[in-house]
Copies of this chain bind each other. A is one copy, B any other.
Amino acid sequence: MQVDISLKKIEDRSYTIFIEPIEKIRNLSKAVIVTNPKVAGLHLGYLLPKIEASELYIVTLPDGEDYKNEQALNYLLERLFDHKIDRKSTLIAFGGGVIGDMTGFAAAIYQRGIDFIQIPTTLLSQVDASVGGKTGINNRFGKNLIGAFHQPKAVYIDTHFLTTLPQREFAAGVAEIVKMAVVFDKEFFAWLEEHDLYEEEHLKYAIKRSVELKAAIVAKDEREGGMRASLNYGHTFAHVIENETNYKRFLHGEAVAIGMVMANELAKLMDLMSQEDAQRVKTLLEKYNLPTCYEIKDVDSFYEHFFLDKKTQADKIKFVLPRGVGDFVITDSVPKERVFEALKRFTRC
């Protein structure tokens, strides 16, 4: 005897990313702004008059990746219960990637899911975390190991918040923009070579284009499958670099910048990329003072670290390698010797 449960249906989780100064966010019932003390001090005065909610609460969480953990998540969830947040309420993530990931995850599991809005305040979270629906926390086993896919109801990208962003963090965001261009869009890459992102209008266009490119990928592959893996260009190497340096020395975007240069070396050895294209990428990264080298002390150990990544299954490493500029291949059949050859080029910076 059997019963077939039919759950095939059209799901619509579409939303809009607004890349413009926030005017009003209207018609919220209960809402909670989740932010950190620094962003709150700098920008709540700007945001608060723009929010129209029947009740509004503000919860601050400690700043930084070290606090993207279960304790902070539970602290947030408890505040939501204190304020009797119900299923029609909305959480507003107001901060960088850490705030976005934790707020999104809290929204995913609070009473089995409530709405959330993202107002990312760093360039990295504006171009990266605002598309894809990934939410989660870290634990002692690694990063983002507990989480859910939960799409926001809307994202507001307001470059006003970037006026207080330190230069290094700005550049880290640019690294993700460059990544999108190298992998998907050679015209956009050429545009980046010719335009200065310190200019407001250029920056807005670059954010828009990055978001569009990522959205196109995510629409095809909402969960992690084939295409979405292409977003990991530079990241396979970056994760090892971040791991070896205990996530202290480099910002994520900086590690990605180095990771892209490393991936390009491997792409060159595999005859996928010309020296000239590799140099164009490096030059663009250096224009924003991004690091492009990391001195590998022990090539064997660096190689072993690839296998700690949760996306690396069993004994195969999946590399995203650019094919020139504007195209890519995903391959798990790079000979170990080739990888070593590429890594050895980084034993001296």
Contact = CB atoms under 8 A, between A and B. Distances in A.
A6 to B, nearest CB: 5
B7 A10 contact: no
Interface string A141-184: 10011111101000000000000000000000000000000000
Nearest to A220: B9
A7 B1 contact: no
Contact of A148 (B17, B70, B112): B112
Given A18-B2, A87-B224, A313-B86, A7 B151 contact: yes
13 contacts: A2-B18, A3-B212, A5-B14, A5-B131, A6-B14, A6-B219, A7-B13, A8-B12, A87-B310, A111-B310, A112-B147, A112-B224, A113-B149
A310 B89 CA distance: 13
**Total copies of the chain:** 2
Contacts of A281: none
B7 A15 contact: yes
A204 interface: yes
A327 B138 CA distance: 48
**Which 7 pairs between the two chains have the least Cβ-Cβ distance?**
A81-B141, A1-B19, A7-B13, A8-B12, A3-B17, A112-B147, A11-B11
A250 B222 CA distance: 44
Most chain B CB within a 10 A radius of its CB, from A5, A11, A20, A111: A5
A4 B88 CA distance: 23
A134 interface: yes
B113 A148 contact: yes
A109 interface: yes
Contacts of A151: 5, 7
Given A1-B18, A7-B133, 14 more contacts: A1-B20, A3-B215, A4-B14, A5-B14, A5-B151, A7-B12, A7-B13, A7-B218, A7-B222, A81-B141, A109-B146, A111-B146, A112-B134, A112-B147
Contacts of A208: 1, 3
B15 A2 contact: no
A291 B208 CA distance: 63
A99 to B, nearest CB: 18
A134 B111 CA distance: 10
A16 interface: yes
Contacts of A109: 109, 136, 146-148
A136 B148 contact: no
A74 interface: yes
A108 interface: yes
Contacts of A113: 148-149, 223
